[in-house]
Chain A
């Protein structure tokens, strides 16, 4: 299995800490960002093909962040993860470029499956 690196963007440290522990245990390398701006700065220097974004972020929200990432990266698989499902519609997320949408609280096993499928796709596309 190639190096499977994930970027997780969420302003709640408790959430990113829990996701990092979970995904690390599942065999992934996790990079965290606490804001859209920090995520864009990371993506300027490093490449991530599987990304989990919180939608409610300080300053730039997850929808705008996804649009910006999509301008440079059509291939990355980007997931929305939000506890504010009532404020963000699914079709709005699809339009912004998200591949899928999960509502917090979400079972970690569901996210593991999503990440596994995403990396399998990326590998297949790169062959």
Chain B
């Protein structure tokens, strides 16, 4: 499933016209959604503040261990989830405002994994294969962190019951005019390839078609905003890259991200 953004090279202009139109349309749609969502999220924060305040005030009037107090604790938990969702939406809607500079991607990926490892269950192992040392991409460090954390969190969710392995690779790739390495057609140029694969439950083609949509989630319950992959897609788009996903039900899923090397 191809997604992408700016061009690292203009030489393939004619052959890529249709693809660029699709990407431009998608980028425009994402910008509109993010602007709308950002506006709602800010107003929503004000409303949540009132709800949260009154829950807290009412809770203090209830006897400790009473059923009413426990009910209000549940309501407060729901507000906390709504608050986290608003943070995600605002983070998504602000991606285009972040300053992007050439950064060493390996350093950022390694730092992101340090925090992530402690949050994953012990039955999930992370294998790292980093081939690029000082190679750089033009991005904001927080965007790269967001990509790594969101993809790894999803991979972890896909293996939460049985455990498994998350394979993360970072490599360089030179794409020529006649590249057939991907299901999409990246423009010729030098790229950094970030792959995150898991051995989880995988997805069917219908699910794959929706995973980058904002608010889409395969989780029926739990604290999931459905914004994680939409954010990954939006960030890759802003960085002029491509994201692809391959998945086999019952076997696992691999996300491949190409970011132009600078």
Contact = CB atoms under 8 A, between A and B. Distances in A.
B200 interface: no
A103 B90 CA distance: 13
Interface string A84-115: 11110000000000000001111111000000
A19 B53 contact: yes
B24 interface: no
B52 interface: yes
A112 B41 CA distance: 25
A5 to B, nearest CB: 20
B260 interface: no
A82 B149 CA distance: 28
A75 interface: no
A104 B48 contact: yes
Contacts of A84: 42, 45
Interface string A50-83: 0000000000000000000000000000000001
B135 to A, nearest CB: 31
A83 B38 CA distance: 11
A22 B53 contact: yes
A18 B46 CA distance: 12
A124 interface: no
B51 A105 contact: yes
Given A83-B45, A84-B45, A105-B83, A18 B90 contact: no
A108 B45 contact: no
A25 B90 contact: no
Q: Chain B interface: which size bin?
A: 20 to 34
Interface residues of A, number: 20
Contacts of B90: 85-86
A86 B94 contact: yes
Given A87-B42, A103-B45, A14 B50 contact: yes
A117 interface: no
A43 interface: no
B103 interface: no
A30 to B, nearest CB: 13
Interface in B37-86: 38, 41-46, 48-54, 56-57, 60, 79, 83
Nearest to A84: B42
Given A83-B42, A86-B38, A86-B90, A105 B49 contact: yes
Contacts of B57: 18, 21-22, 25, 108
Contacts of A15: 46, 49-50, 53
A122 B125 CA distance: 53
Given A15-B49, A18-B50, A86-B90, A108 B42 contact: no
Contacts of B49: 15, 18, 83, 104-106
Query: Which 4 pairs from chain A and chain B are nearest by CB?
Result: A83-B45, A104-B49, A105-B49, A105-B48
Given A18-B49, A109-B56, 19 more contacts: A15-B46, A18-B50, A22-B56, A25-B60, A83-B42, A83-B43, A85-B45, A85-B90, A86-B42, A86-B90, A87-B42, A104-B46, A104-B48, A105-B48, A105-B52, A106-B49, A107-B56, A108-B52, A108-B57
Interface of B: 38, 41-46, 48-54, 56-57, 60, 79, 83, 90, 93-94
